Structure 1
Amino acid sequence: MKLEDLLATDALIPSLPEAVNRILGELQNDDPDMRRVNQLLSSEVGLTVRILRLVNSARYSAGGARIGTVEAATARLGLKATRQLVQAAAVGGIFKGVPGADMTDFWRHSLDVAKIAQSLAEELRLDPGIAFTAGLLHGTGDLILKMAMPDRASLQPNFVTDDHRYEAQIADLGYAYPEVGAAFASRWLFPEQVIEAIRHQCDPQDSNDRAFSSLLYLSCWSARVHELDIEGTALFDAVPRDVAESIGLADVDRLADDKVIPWTPDDEARDFS
């Protein structure tokens, strides 16, 4: 399937759920009614669970007490972050029963990438919300490809542990999951920095905004190293130092540290999916 045909198939890149549209519509008002927003959010149980999971993650908790209600979450986040978090949390609810995908595994890995990206963004004084969202959504293009072509050979290996996936899909299809994921993020009106980071997560040197693309590249590398359980001196030889140095990351070797973040447990990933 050609890329333009894939992107033209609305069923494969779904629209925002109507409930999410209503919430985002209220948030776009000049003077949004946060009571109404909280009511709408509370009526969507699955969305509420995913929002509370994210708001208590590394990106938002900052070591404080856990947030247990939608009202407390939106009060902490503010309007801009609430809108972005609603969009991100909605993603978890639309990908169900993707052929050949273990969704708990997928979201566990995606949350790990998001947390690493957030940590690096804070070190580099970049927007941690943009970094976290890009990390969370970085693999959605692969899910869409699986939905479109479930039997395609380049889509069969496990996304979480397949570190040659991008090159295999380019060779097989002429395009790969980053382009599809960027199109998905664009259709859902995520910020341009998120879209650009996802599009160039595997080739940050070609990005118009190398900071976030490089940061996402490094976060994906670090999370996959953890998944593959790579050990020994060969690991340190493989650290992408040129990418890290290009954005001024001082402690490059910490990307290979198995304690770079608190890794996401399966129960957190299951609640998100």
Structure 2
Amino acid sequence: MEHDATTPALLHIDASVSPADTSVSRQLTSLFAGKWRQRYGDAGYHHRDLAAEPVPLVDAGYVRFGYWVERHGTVPVDEVSALVRDAADEAAWRATRPLVEEVLAADVLLLGVPMYNLTVPAALMAWIDRISFPGALLDPAAGRSRLRDKQIVVVGARGGGYGPGAPREGLDFQVPYLRGYFTDRGVPEGRLHFVTAELTRARDVPAMAPLRSRAAASLDAAREGVIELVDRLAAPPGARGTARQATAEPQTADCGQGRPVGSYAV
């Protein structure tokens, strides 16, 4: 992923299994990426579709090789290959290294994340497991996270309502998980940004029909949040101002009288 060092690099990840014409998360990440590319062109831009090209789940070979590498301390990514012992190690690293290198090359990570069964899609979890290879995200010299200077943009979609006052408040294991993962790996709160559209299933679930106006308002707010974020993050460093979290999570009413309506977003 070579590009002009003066052009910030954007890694765009989509995890929704839904096609672009029906996926809210894909439409929102496309909005961000489109405006980014209007400013910078395709230099430094990379898109990975986790539904079209699923990342292999970690297996015994990945764990075995990861433990072996970890015994050697923090090994630079370009030196891990020297520790390969056999075909199983080689296969594990071949499936992992490109994903790690994409993340390390990026200045901004853009993640499109629908909520599936109250949390993130399995496809995204598989990607997270792979890039979390022992030592791969650490600076070998300083022992600090190499994610700490990156901007992380999480564009979320939820089929139901999980905001303050909603009956399902507290059942969101999507945003808290991703916040925990990235902060645990050294990303400061000021570099971690969330934009969320709620009630995305209101348009097609009859029981949620009374919530369609709230759903539309949430989607409009999410679009505004995406535009604000891309304008700020694509600006020169001195012009970005104080980073803040961009949210689009209005208070929501019951989205199905306690029934699990809208467990899947798009």
Q: TM-score range by the shorter chain?
A: under 0.3
Instruction: Please tell me whether Structure 1 or Structure 2 has the larger radius of gyration of its CA atoms.
Output: 2
**Is the strand fraction higher in 1 or 2?**
2
Q: TM-score, normalised by structure 2?
A: 0.27
**Is the helix fraction higher in 1 or 2?**
1
